[in-house]
Structure 1
Protein backbone atom coordinates (compact mmCIF):
# COMPACT_ATOMS: atom_id res chain seq x y z
CA UNK A 1 0.00 0.00 0.00
CA UNK A 2 2.61 2.53 -0.99
CA UNK A 3 0.89 3.94 -4.07
CA UNK A 4 0.04 7.63 -4.14
CA UNK A 5 -3.13 7.87 -2.03
CA UNK A 6 -4.52 10.56 -4.31
CA UNK A 7 -5.17 7.76 -6.80
CA UNK A 8 -7.97 6.77 -4.41
CA UNK A 9 -9.73 9.95 -5.44
CA UNK A 10 -10.64 8.28 -8.71
CA UNK A 11 -12.91 6.01 -6.69
CA UNK A 12 -14.62 8.99 -5.05
CA UNK A 13 -14.58 11.75 -7.69
CA UNK A 14 -17.00 14.01 -5.83
CA UNK A 15 -15.03 13.91 -2.59
CA UNK A 16 -11.97 16.03 -1.85
CA UNK A 17 -8.92 14.96 0.10
CA UNK A 18 -8.61 16.56 3.55
CA UNK A 19 -5.19 15.06 4.30
CA UNK A 20 -2.85 12.54 2.72
CA UNK A 21 0.52 10.88 3.14
CA UNK A 22 2.73 9.41 0.43
CA UNK A 23 5.61 6.99 1.15
CA UNK A 24 5.62 8.23 4.75
CA UNK A 25 8.39 6.75 6.89
CA UNK A 26 9.36 7.49 10.48
CA UNK A 27 12.51 6.01 11.98
CA UNK A 28 13.67 6.46 15.57
CA UNK A 29 17.27 5.88 16.66
CA UNK A 30 20.04 4.34 14.58
CA UNK A 31 22.17 1.24 14.35
CA UNK A 32 21.19 -1.55 16.71
CA UNK A 33 18.61 0.67 18.44
CA UNK A 34 16.85 1.75 15.25
CA UNK A 35 13.07 1.38 15.24
CA UNK A 36 11.02 1.78 12.06
CA UNK A 37 7.68 3.11 13.30
CA UNK A 38 6.23 3.75 9.82
CA UNK A 39 7.44 2.21 6.57
CA UNK A 40 6.35 4.00 3.36
CA UNK A 41 2.72 4.50 4.37
CA UNK A 42 0.42 6.03 1.78
CA UNK A 43 -3.11 6.94 2.82
CA UNK A 44 -5.75 9.56 2.03
CA UNK A 45 -8.40 10.88 4.40
CA UNK A 46 -11.40 12.03 2.41
CA UNK A 47 -13.45 15.11 3.26
CA UNK A 48 -16.61 14.42 5.21
CA UNK A 49 -15.50 10.95 6.28
CA UNK A 50 -14.84 9.37 9.69
CA UNK A 51 -11.76 7.13 9.63
CA UNK A 52 -10.52 4.97 12.49
CA UNK A 53 -6.89 3.80 12.65
CA UNK A 54 -6.37 0.47 14.43
CA UNK A 55 -3.69 -2.12 15.04
CA UNK A 56 -1.76 -3.85 17.82
CA UNK A 57 0.26 -1.89 20.36
CA UNK A 58 3.41 -0.40 18.86
CA UNK A 59 2.20 -0.73 15.27
CA UNK A 60 2.59 2.99 14.49
CA UNK A 61 -1.00 4.24 14.93
CA UNK A 62 -0.22 7.32 16.98
CA UNK A 63 2.96 8.02 14.99
CA UNK A 64 0.91 8.09 11.78
CA UNK A 65 -1.59 10.47 13.32
CA UNK A 66 1.10 12.75 14.76
CA UNK A 67 2.90 12.96 11.41
CA UNK A 68 -0.31 13.48 9.45
CA UNK A 69 -1.33 16.26 11.83
CA UNK A 70 2.02 18.05 11.69
CA UNK A 71 2.82 17.28 15.34
CA UNK A 72 5.86 15.21 14.36
CA UNK A 73 8.17 15.34 11.34
CA UNK A 74 8.55 12.27 9.10
CA UNK A 75 11.95 10.83 8.32
CA UNK A 76 10.97 10.73 4.65
CA UNK A 77 7.90 10.98 2.46
CA UNK A 78 5.15 13.53 2.01
CA UNK A 79 2.35 14.84 4.24
CA UNK A 80 -0.35 17.17 2.93
CA UNK A 81 -3.28 18.97 4.51
CA UNK A 82 -5.51 19.68 1.55
CA UNK A 83 -3.01 20.76 -1.10
CA UNK A 84 -0.47 22.15 1.39
CA UNK A 85 2.74 20.14 1.65
CA UNK A 86 3.82 20.38 5.29
CA UNK A 87 7.54 20.11 4.53
CA UNK A 88 7.39 23.47 2.69
CA UNK A 89 6.25 25.32 5.83
CA UNK A 90 8.48 27.02 8.38
CA UNK A 91 7.77 26.69 12.11
CA UNK A 92 5.49 29.74 12.22
CA UNK A 93 3.50 28.64 9.17
CA UNK A 94 3.15 25.12 10.55
CA UNK A 95 1.91 26.47 13.88
CA UNK A 96 -0.66 28.64 12.09
CA UNK A 97 -1.82 25.71 9.95
CA UNK A 98 -2.32 23.49 13.00
CA UNK A 99 -4.19 26.31 14.75
CA UNK A 100 -6.43 27.28 11.84
CA UNK A 101 -7.00 24.09 9.85
CA UNK A 102 -6.63 21.19 12.28
CA UNK A 103 -8.60 20.24 15.38
CA UNK A 104 -7.23 17.93 18.08
CA UNK A 105 -8.93 15.71 20.66
CA UNK A 106 -6.75 13.66 23.00
CA UNK A 107 -7.30 11.06 25.70
CA UNK A 108 -6.37 13.69 28.31
CA UNK A 109 -8.92 16.47 28.00
CA UNK A 110 -6.28 19.23 28.15
CA UNK A 111 -8.65 21.88 29.50
CA UNK A 112 -7.40 24.90 31.43
CA UNK A 113 -8.81 24.59 34.97
CA UNK A 114 -9.23 28.34 35.54
CA UNK A 115 -11.37 28.86 32.42
CA UNK A 116 -15.05 28.16 32.00
CA UNK A 117 -16.30 25.63 29.47
CA UNK A 118 -17.12 28.43 27.04
CA UNK A 119 -13.68 30.02 27.49
CA UNK A 120 -11.99 26.65 26.91
CA UNK A 121 -14.06 26.09 23.77
CA UNK A 122 -13.20 29.47 22.27
CA UNK A 123 -9.57 29.52 23.45
CA UNK A 124 -8.05 28.62 20.03
CA UNK A 125 -9.94 31.52 18.44
CA UNK A 126 -8.88 33.88 21.22
CA UNK A 127 -5.23 32.92 20.73
CA UNK A 128 -5.61 33.59 17.00
CA UNK A 129 -7.25 36.96 17.69
CA UNK A 130 -10.47 35.86 16.01
CA UNK A 131 -14.04 36.29 17.15
CA UNK A 132 -16.21 33.16 17.15
CA UNK A 133 -18.98 32.85 14.60
CA UNK A 134 -21.83 33.00 17.09
CA UNK A 135 -24.24 30.99 14.97
CA UNK A 136 -21.68 28.25 14.42
CA UNK A 137 -20.64 28.28 18.09
CA UNK A 138 -24.25 27.91 19.19
CA UNK A 139 -24.73 25.01 16.78
CA UNK A 140 -21.62 23.21 18.02
CA UNK A 141 -22.48 23.77 21.70
CA UNK A 142 -26.02 22.53 21.12
CA UNK A 143 -24.83 19.44 19.25
CA UNK A 144 -22.56 18.35 22.12
CA UNK A 145 -25.19 19.16 24.75
CA UNK A 146 -23.30 21.84 26.67
CA UNK A 147 -25.74 24.74 26.52
CA UNK A 148 -26.38 24.60 30.29
CA UNK A 149 -22.75 23.99 31.28
CA UNK A 150 -20.94 26.89 29.61
CA UNK A 151 -20.29 28.75 32.88
CA UNK A 152 -18.86 25.70 34.63
CA UNK A 153 -15.15 25.14 35.10
CA UNK A 154 -13.60 21.72 34.37
CA UNK A 155 -13.60 20.65 38.03
CA UNK A 156 -17.38 21.11 38.02
CA UNK A 157 -17.84 18.81 35.01
CA UNK A 158 -17.81 15.03 34.67
CA UNK A 159 -15.17 13.36 32.53
CA UNK A 160 -17.66 12.93 29.72
CA UNK A 161 -18.66 16.58 29.89
CA UNK A 162 -15.01 17.66 29.86
CA UNK A 163 -14.41 15.61 26.70
CA UNK A 164 -17.51 17.21 25.16
CA UNK A 165 -15.85 20.57 25.80
CA UNK A 166 -12.74 19.26 24.04
CA UNK A 167 -14.85 18.11 21.07
CA UNK A 168 -16.53 21.52 20.84
CA UNK A 169 -13.12 23.23 21.08
CA UNK A 170 -11.88 21.14 18.16
CA UNK A 171 -14.94 22.00 16.07
CA UNK A 172 -15.31 25.71 16.84
CA UNK A 173 -12.78 26.94 14.27
CA UNK A 174 -14.30 24.81 11.48
CA UNK A 175 -11.05 22.93 10.85
CA UNK A 176 -10.34 21.05 7.64
CA UNK A 177 -9.78 17.90 9.69
CA UNK A 178 -10.00 16.70 13.30
CA UNK A 179 -7.53 14.17 14.71
CA UNK A 180 -8.45 12.20 17.83
CA UNK A 181 -5.93 10.06 19.74
CA UNK A 182 -7.90 7.57 21.87
CA UNK A 183 -10.48 10.32 22.61
CA UNK A 184 -12.66 7.99 24.72
CA UNK A 185 -9.80 6.22 26.50
CA UNK A 186 -10.46 7.93 29.85
CA UNK A 187 -14.25 7.61 29.72
CA UNK A 188 -16.71 4.96 30.84
CA UNK A 189 -18.71 3.19 28.15
CA UNK A 190 -21.73 5.49 28.36
CA UNK A 191 -19.74 8.73 28.23
CA UNK A 192 -17.54 7.27 25.50
CA UNK A 193 -20.60 6.41 23.41
CA UNK A 194 -21.87 9.98 23.79
CA UNK A 195 -18.57 11.48 22.61
CA UNK A 196 -18.37 9.07 19.67
CA UNK A 197 -21.94 9.95 18.78
CA UNK A 198 -21.01 13.65 18.71
CA UNK A 199 -18.05 12.93 16.42
CA UNK A 200 -20.33 10.84 14.19
CA UNK A 201 -22.87 13.70 14.12
CA UNK A 202 -20.16 16.23 13.27
CA UNK A 203 -19.39 14.22 10.14
CA UNK A 204 -23.02 13.61 9.20
CA UNK A 205 -24.48 17.01 10.07
CA UNK A 206 -21.54 19.42 9.81
CA UNK A 207 -19.54 17.78 7.02
CA UNK A 208 -16.52 17.43 9.30
CA UNK A 209 -13.58 15.12 8.55
CA UNK A 210 -12.48 13.01 11.53
CA UNK A 211 -9.49 10.67 11.94
CA UNK A 212 -9.36 8.71 15.19
CA UNK A 213 -6.75 6.36 16.62
CA UNK A 214 -8.38 3.73 18.79
CA UNK A 215 -7.84 0.21 20.13
CA UNK A 216 -11.57 -0.28 20.78
CA UNK A 217 -13.63 -2.20 18.15
CA UNK A 218 -16.82 -0.60 19.49
CA UNK A 219 -15.39 2.88 18.95
CA UNK A 220 -14.22 1.89 15.45
CA UNK A 221 -17.78 0.83 14.67
CA UNK A 222 -18.80 4.51 14.63
CA UNK A 223 -16.46 5.20 11.70
CA UNK A 224 -17.13 5.06 7.96
CA UNK A 225 -13.81 3.31 7.36
CA UNK A 226 -11.20 1.50 9.43
CA UNK A 227 -7.57 1.16 8.34
CA UNK A 228 -5.33 -1.38 10.04
CA UNK A 229 -1.59 -1.02 10.71
CA UNK A 230 0.88 -3.73 11.63
CA UNK A 231 4.63 -3.22 12.14
CA UNK A 232 4.51 0.21 10.51
CA UNK A 233 2.64 -0.93 7.37
CA UNK A 234 -0.94 -0.49 6.23
CA UNK A 235 -2.20 -4.06 5.95
CA UNK A 236 -5.99 -3.92 5.67
CA UNK A 237 -8.98 -1.62 5.27
CA UNK A 238 -12.68 -1.97 6.02
CA UNK A 239 -15.68 0.15 5.04
CA UNK A 240 -18.95 0.23 6.97
CA UNK A 241 -17.31 -1.49 9.94
CA UNK A 242 -19.09 -3.25 12.75
CA UNK A 243 -17.51 -4.04 16.13
CA UNK A 244 -17.65 -7.79 15.40
CA UNK A 245 -15.96 -7.49 12.00
CA UNK A 246 -13.27 -5.22 13.45
CA UNK A 247 -12.71 -7.61 16.36
CA UNK A 248 -12.24 -10.52 13.93
CA UNK A 249 -9.45 -8.63 12.14
CA UNK A 250 -7.81 -7.66 15.42
CA UNK A 251 -7.90 -11.29 16.61
CA UNK A 252 -5.88 -12.21 13.52
CA UNK A 253 -3.20 -9.72 14.61
CA UNK A 254 -3.16 -11.30 18.08
CA UNK A 255 -2.82 -14.79 16.57
CA UNK A 256 0.09 -13.72 14.33
CA UNK A 257 1.91 -12.04 17.25
CA UNK A 258 1.68 -15.24 19.34
CA UNK A 259 2.98 -17.46 16.54
CA UNK A 260 5.78 -15.16 15.34
Structure 2
Protein backbone atom coordinates (compact mmCIF):
# COMPACT_ATOMS: atom_id res chain seq x y z
CA UNK A 1 0.00 0.00 0.00
CA UNK A 2 1.41 3.37 -0.94
CA UNK A 3 2.16 5.94 1.72
CA UNK A 4 -0.48 8.61 2.34
CA UNK A 5 -0.05 12.13 1.10
CA UNK A 6 1.47 14.63 3.53
CA UNK A 7 -0.99 15.47 6.27
CA UNK A 8 -2.01 19.15 6.15
CA UNK A 9 -3.41 21.01 9.16
CA UNK A 10 -7.16 20.73 9.65
CA UNK A 11 -8.75 23.71 7.97
CA UNK A 12 -12.44 22.87 7.82
CA UNK A 13 -13.37 21.20 11.10
CA UNK A 14 -12.63 21.54 14.79
CA UNK A 15 -12.94 18.89 17.50
CA UNK A 16 -15.24 20.36 20.14
CA UNK A 17 -16.43 17.27 21.96
CA UNK A 18 -16.23 13.54 22.60
CA UNK A 19 -18.11 11.24 20.25
CA UNK A 20 -17.49 8.09 22.33
CA UNK A 21 -15.59 7.21 25.47
CA UNK A 22 -14.75 4.36 27.79
CA UNK A 23 -13.88 4.63 31.48
CA UNK A 24 -12.12 1.80 33.34
CA UNK A 25 -13.39 -0.60 30.66
CA UNK A 26 -12.61 -4.20 31.60
CA UNK A 27 -13.50 -7.32 29.65
CA UNK A 28 -12.85 -10.76 31.11
CA UNK A 29 -13.54 -14.08 29.40
CA UNK A 30 -13.88 -17.33 31.33
CA UNK A 31 -13.17 -17.88 35.01
CA UNK A 32 -10.72 -19.55 37.32
CA UNK A 33 -7.74 -21.10 35.59
CA UNK A 34 -9.19 -20.33 32.15
CA UNK A 35 -9.80 -16.64 32.87
CA UNK A 36 -8.46 -14.27 30.21
CA UNK A 37 -8.32 -10.50 30.72
CA UNK A 38 -8.96 -9.01 27.28
CA UNK A 39 -9.17 -5.38 28.46
CA UNK A 40 -7.76 -4.09 31.73
CA UNK A 41 -9.31 -0.78 32.93
CA UNK A 42 -9.07 1.02 29.57
CA UNK A 43 -10.10 4.68 29.60
CA UNK A 44 -10.12 6.54 26.29
CA UNK A 45 -12.08 9.25 24.49
CA UNK A 46 -12.65 9.49 20.74
CA UNK A 47 -12.93 13.13 19.78
CA UNK A 48 -15.50 14.45 17.33
CA UNK A 49 -14.15 15.09 13.86
CA UNK A 50 -11.04 12.98 14.40
CA UNK A 51 -9.70 9.82 12.75
CA UNK A 52 -8.26 7.44 15.36
CA UNK A 53 -6.46 4.18 14.63
CA UNK A 54 -6.19 1.44 17.27
CA UNK A 55 -3.08 -0.73 17.01
CA UNK A 56 -1.16 -3.30 18.99
CA UNK A 57 0.34 -6.79 18.82
CA UNK A 58 -1.88 -9.72 17.91
CA UNK A 59 -4.10 -10.61 20.85
CA UNK A 60 -3.72 -7.24 22.59
CA UNK A 61 -7.47 -6.55 22.78
CA UNK A 62 -7.90 -3.93 20.04
CA UNK A 63 -10.90 -5.58 18.37
CA UNK A 64 -12.44 -6.24 21.78
CA UNK A 65 -12.08 -2.55 22.60
CA UNK A 66 -13.81 -1.56 19.38
CA UNK A 67 -16.62 -4.08 19.86
CA UNK A 68 -17.28 -2.86 23.41
CA UNK A 69 -17.05 0.82 22.44
CA UNK A 70 -19.52 0.22 19.59
CA UNK A 71 -22.04 -1.64 21.72
CA UNK A 72 -21.45 -4.96 19.95
CA UNK A 73 -20.12 -6.60 23.13
CA UNK A 74 -20.79 -5.94 26.80
CA UNK A 75 -17.96 -5.02 29.19
CA UNK A 76 -17.39 -6.97 32.38
CA UNK A 77 -17.10 -3.66 34.22
CA UNK A 78 -16.56 0.00 33.51
CA UNK A 79 -18.42 2.55 31.42
CA UNK A 80 -19.03 3.00 27.68
CA UNK A 81 -20.70 6.13 26.30
CA UNK A 82 -21.75 7.28 22.86
CA UNK A 83 -21.94 11.03 23.25
CA UNK A 84 -23.58 11.42 26.65
CA UNK A 85 -25.51 8.12 26.45
CA UNK A 86 -24.30 5.45 28.85
CA UNK A 87 -24.76 2.14 27.05
CA UNK A 88 -25.33 0.12 30.22
CA UNK A 89 -28.57 2.06 30.83
CA UNK A 90 -30.11 0.87 27.54
CA UNK A 91 -32.27 -2.20 27.03
CA UNK A 92 -31.77 -4.43 23.98
CA UNK A 93 -34.22 -2.50 21.79
CA UNK A 94 -32.71 0.86 22.72
CA UNK A 95 -29.20 -0.45 22.09
CA UNK A 96 -30.22 -1.77 18.68
CA UNK A 97 -31.74 1.60 17.78
CA UNK A 98 -28.64 3.45 18.95
CA UNK A 99 -26.37 1.26 16.83
CA UNK A 100 -28.66 1.74 13.85
CA UNK A 101 -29.09 5.50 14.18
CA UNK A 102 -25.86 6.78 15.71
CA UNK A 103 -23.10 4.31 14.78
CA UNK A 104 -21.71 3.31 11.39
CA UNK A 105 -19.81 0.06 10.83
CA UNK A 106 -17.27 -1.00 8.22
CA UNK A 107 -15.85 -4.51 8.45
CA UNK A 108 -13.18 -6.47 6.63
CA UNK A 109 -15.96 -8.47 4.96
CA UNK A 110 -18.07 -6.07 2.93
CA UNK A 111 -21.39 -7.49 4.21
CA UNK A 112 -23.40 -6.39 1.18
CA UNK A 113 -26.65 -8.08 0.15
CA UNK A 114 -26.05 -9.66 -3.27
CA UNK A 115 -29.59 -9.11 -4.57
CA UNK A 116 -29.56 -5.36 -3.93
CA UNK A 117 -27.97 -2.66 -6.06
CA UNK A 118 -25.18 -0.48 -4.70
CA UNK A 119 -27.69 2.29 -4.00
CA UNK A 120 -30.07 -0.10 -2.23
CA UNK A 121 -27.20 -1.45 -0.10
CA UNK A 122 -26.12 2.09 0.80
CA UNK A 123 -29.61 3.14 1.91
CA UNK A 124 -30.53 -0.20 3.54
CA UNK A 125 -30.07 0.97 7.17
CA UNK A 126 -32.37 3.92 6.52
CA UNK A 127 -34.91 1.68 4.79
CA UNK A 128 -34.93 -0.69 7.78
CA UNK A 129 -35.52 2.30 10.06
CA UNK A 130 -38.35 3.55 7.84
CA UNK A 131 -36.48 6.76 7.03
CA UNK A 132 -35.89 8.49 3.72
CA UNK A 133 -32.32 9.50 2.93
CA UNK A 134 -31.38 13.16 2.87
CA UNK A 135 -30.88 13.34 -0.90
CA UNK A 136 -28.33 16.15 -0.76
CA UNK A 137 -26.24 14.31 1.83
CA UNK A 138 -26.59 11.01 -0.04
CA UNK A 139 -25.39 12.64 -3.26
CA UNK A 140 -22.44 14.16 -1.43
CA UNK A 141 -21.39 10.87 0.15
CA UNK A 142 -21.80 8.94 -3.11
CA UNK A 143 -19.73 11.52 -4.99
CA UNK A 144 -17.02 11.46 -2.32
CA UNK A 145 -16.54 7.71 -2.65
CA UNK A 146 -16.74 7.83 -6.45
CA UNK A 147 -19.82 5.65 -6.94
CA UNK A 148 -22.07 7.98 -8.91
CA UNK A 149 -21.78 5.85 -12.05
CA UNK A 150 -22.13 2.48 -10.29
CA UNK A 151 -25.27 2.85 -8.19
CA UNK A 152 -27.33 0.46 -10.32
CA UNK A 153 -24.77 -2.36 -10.13
CA UNK A 154 -25.07 -5.33 -7.80
CA UNK A 155 -22.09 -6.46 -5.66
CA UNK A 156 -21.10 -9.24 -8.08
CA UNK A 157 -20.65 -6.56 -10.76
CA UNK A 158 -18.29 -4.52 -8.57
CA UNK A 159 -14.64 -4.97 -7.68
CA UNK A 160 -13.61 -5.56 -4.07
CA UNK A 161 -12.57 -1.94 -3.73
CA UNK A 162 -15.89 -0.74 -5.13
CA UNK A 163 -17.79 -3.04 -2.76
CA UNK A 164 -15.93 -1.57 0.20
CA UNK A 165 -16.72 1.94 -1.10
CA UNK A 166 -20.38 0.92 -0.96
CA UNK A 167 -19.83 -0.19 2.65
CA UNK A 168 -18.17 3.14 3.48
CA UNK A 169 -21.07 5.07 1.95
CA UNK A 170 -23.56 2.88 3.84
CA UNK A 171 -21.78 3.67 7.11
CA UNK A 172 -21.89 7.42 6.40
CA UNK A 173 -25.33 7.88 4.89
CA UNK A 174 -27.22 8.10 8.19
CA UNK A 175 -24.81 10.77 9.52
CA UNK A 176 -23.77 8.65 12.50
CA UNK A 177 -22.10 10.12 15.56
CA UNK A 178 -19.17 7.78 14.98
CA UNK A 179 -17.98 5.20 12.42
CA UNK A 180 -16.09 2.10 13.56
CA UNK A 181 -13.94 0.17 11.09
CA UNK A 182 -12.51 -3.27 11.88
CA UNK A 183 -9.61 -3.90 9.47
CA UNK A 184 -11.65 -2.24 6.68
CA UNK A 185 -8.91 -2.70 4.07
CA UNK A 186 -7.91 -6.23 5.09
CA UNK A 187 -9.46 -7.85 1.99
CA UNK A 188 -8.27 -5.21 -0.48
CA UNK A 189 -5.16 -4.82 -2.59
CA UNK A 190 -2.85 -1.87 -1.93
CA UNK A 191 -4.44 0.49 -4.45
CA UNK A 192 -8.03 -0.20 -3.42
CA UNK A 193 -7.04 -0.06 0.27
CA UNK A 194 -5.42 3.34 -0.22
CA UNK A 195 -8.57 4.63 -1.92
CA UNK A 196 -10.83 3.46 0.91
CA UNK A 197 -8.52 4.95 3.55
CA UNK A 198 -8.49 8.19 1.61
CA UNK A 199 -12.30 8.24 1.61
CA UNK A 200 -12.37 7.69 5.37
CA UNK A 201 -9.87 10.50 5.87
CA UNK A 202 -11.91 12.75 3.56
CA UNK A 203 -15.08 11.98 5.53
CA UNK A 204 -13.34 13.37 8.62
CA UNK A 205 -11.89 16.45 6.92
CA UNK A 206 -14.76 17.34 4.63
CA UNK A 207 -17.84 15.96 6.38
CA UNK A 208 -16.76 16.31 10.01
CA UNK A 209 -17.18 12.57 10.61
CA UNK A 210 -15.61 10.74 13.56
CA UNK A 211 -13.82 7.52 12.59
CA UNK A 212 -12.22 4.83 14.77
CA UNK A 213 -10.36 2.07 12.94
CA UNK A 214 -8.70 -1.11 14.18
CA UNK A 215 -5.74 -2.02 11.99
CA UNK A 216 -2.47 -3.95 12.04
CA UNK A 217 -1.07 -1.99 9.08
CA UNK A 218 1.29 0.95 9.83
CA UNK A 219 0.56 2.45 6.40
CA UNK A 220 -3.19 2.41 7.10
CA UNK A 221 -2.55 4.00 10.49
CA UNK A 222 -0.65 6.77 8.71
CA UNK A 223 -3.98 8.08 7.38
CA UNK A 224 -5.25 8.75 10.91
CA UNK A 225 -4.97 11.89 13.03
CA UNK A 226 -4.04 9.83 16.08
CA UNK A 227 -2.91 6.28 16.82
CA UNK A 228 -3.48 4.64 20.20
CA UNK A 229 -1.50 1.52 21.10
CA UNK A 230 -2.68 -1.39 23.20
CA UNK A 231 -0.56 -4.10 24.73
CA UNK A 232 -1.71 -6.89 27.01
CA UNK A 233 -5.17 -5.36 27.29
CA UNK A 234 -3.94 -1.93 28.38
CA UNK A 235 -3.42 1.41 26.67
CA UNK A 236 0.32 1.98 26.56
CA UNK A 237 0.97 4.86 24.15
CA UNK A 238 -0.54 7.44 21.83
CA UNK A 239 0.82 9.16 18.72
CA UNK A 240 -0.50 12.23 16.91
CA UNK A 241 0.15 12.99 13.23
CA UNK A 242 1.52 9.50 12.71
CA UNK A 243 3.68 8.36 9.83
CA UNK A 244 4.02 4.71 8.75
CA UNK A 245 7.68 4.63 9.80
CA UNK A 246 7.00 6.00 13.29
CA UNK A 247 4.11 3.58 13.76
CA UNK A 248 6.22 0.64 12.57
CA UNK A 249 8.98 1.57 15.01
CA UNK A 250 6.54 1.76 17.91
CA UNK A 251 4.94 -1.57 17.00
CA UNK A 252 8.37 -3.18 16.84
CA UNK A 253 9.07 -1.84 20.32
CA UNK A 254 5.81 -3.31 21.66
CA UNK A 255 6.65 -6.70 20.16
CA UNK A 256 10.07 -6.63 21.82
CA UNK A 257 8.48 -5.69 25.15
CA UNK A 258 5.97 -8.53 24.87
CA UNK A 259 8.68 -11.09 24.11
CA UNK A 260 10.72 -9.88 27.07
CA UNK A 261 7.75 -10.17 29.44
CA UNK A 262 6.28 -13.44 28.14
CA UNK A 263 8.36 -15.88 30.23
CA UNK A 264 7.48 -14.07 33.45
CA UNK A 265 3.83 -13.27 32.94
CA UNK A 266 2.57 -15.50 30.15
CA UNK A 267 -0.23 -14.55 27.78
CA UNK A 268 -3.05 -12.52 29.24
CA UNK A 269 -5.18 -10.97 26.60
CA UNK A 270 -7.89 -12.23 24.31
CA UNK A 271 -7.60 -12.16 20.55
CA UNK A 272 -8.17 -8.73 19.06
TM-score normalised by L of structure 2: 0.87
| Contact 2:232 2:269 (C-alpha < 8 Å) held by counterparts | no
CA distance in 2, matches of 1:126, 1:38: 36
How far off its partner does 1:258 sit?
18
In structure 1, what is the equivalent of residue 28 of structure 2? Answer: 27
Secondary structure at the counterpart of residue 211 of structure 1:
strand
**Cα displacement (A) at 1:15:** 1.5
Question: In the alignment, is the contact (CA less than 8 A) between 2:15 and 2:50 conserved in 1?
Answer: no
Q: Deviations over 1:140-194 (max 9, x none)?
A: 0000000000000000000000000000000000000000000000000000000
Could you tell me whether the CA contact under 8 Å between 1:68 and 1:79 is conserved in 2? yes
Q: CA RMSD in A?
A: 6.1
**1:73–1:7 distance in 2 versus 1, CA, 3 Å:** farther
More RCO (CA 8 Å, sep 6+): 2
Instruction: Answer yes or no: is the 8 Å Cα contact 1:6–1:20 preserved in 2.
Output: no
1:257 to 2:269 alignment:
yes
**Equivalence for 1:253:** none
Residue 224 of structure 1 contacts residue 240 of structure 1 at CA under 8 Å; is this kept in 2? yes
Q: What per-residue deviation string (whole Å, max 9, x for no partner) do you get for residues 29-61 of structure 1? A: 001111000000000000000000000000000
Q: What SS does the corresponding residue of 2:14 show, helix, strand or coil?
A: coil
Q: Distance in 1 between matches of 2:234 and 2:8?
A: 18
CA distance in 1, matches of 2:137, 2:12: 32
Tell me the distance in 2 between the aligned counterparts of 1:185 and 1:88: 34
C-alpha contact (below 8 Å) 1:24/1:40 kept by paired residues: yes
**What do residues 94-117 of structure 1 show as CA deviations (whole Å, max 9, x unaligned)?**
000000000000000000000000
- Residue 270 of structure 2 aligns to a residue whose secondary structure is helix
Answering whether residue 141 of structure 2 is matched by residue 129 of structure 1, we say no
CA separation of 1:234/1:35 partners in 2, compared to 1, >3 Å: closer, same or farther? same
Given that 1:8 and 1:44 are in contact with CA atoms closer than 8 Å, whether structure 2 keeps it comes out as no
User: Where does the alignment leave 5 or more consecutive residues of structure 1 unmatched?
Assistant: 249-255
Cα distance between partner residues in 1 of 2:226 and 2:136 = 31
Do 1:2 and 1:22's aligned partners in 2 also have CA atoms closer than 8 Å? no
1:68-98 Cα distance to aligned partner (Å, 9 max, x none): 0000000000000000000000000000000
Q: Partners in 1 of 2:149 and 2:138 — Cα distance?
A: 14
For 1:86-101, what aligned pairs fall within 5 Å after superposition? 86-101=87-102
Consecutive unaligned residues in structure 2, runs of 5 or more: 250-267
Instruction: Give the secondary structure class of the aligned counterpart of 2:162.
Output: helix
Would you say the 8 A contact 1:2–1:40 is kept in 2?
no
SS in 1 for 2:150: coil
C-alpha separation between the residues in 2 aligned to 1:7 and 1:169? 27
Which whole-Å CA distance do the structure 2 matches of 1:158 and 1:7 have between them? 31
Q: Who is 2:12 aligned against?
A: 11
More divergent stretch after superposition (223-232 vs 8-17): 8-17
**Alpha carbons of 1:96 and 1:6: their partners in 2 closer, same or farther (altered >3 Å)?**
farther
Moved >6 Å (runs of 4+): 1-13, 256-260
Q: In structure 2, how many angstroms separate the alpha carbons of the residues matched to 1:147 and 1:23?
A: 44
Output one character per residue of 1:184-215: Cα deviation in whole Å (capped at 9) or x when no partner. 00000000000000000000000000000000
Q: How many residues align?
A: 253
**TM-score, structure 1 length as denominator?**
0.91
Q: Measure, in 2, the Cα distance between the counterparts of 1:241 and 1:159.
A: 27
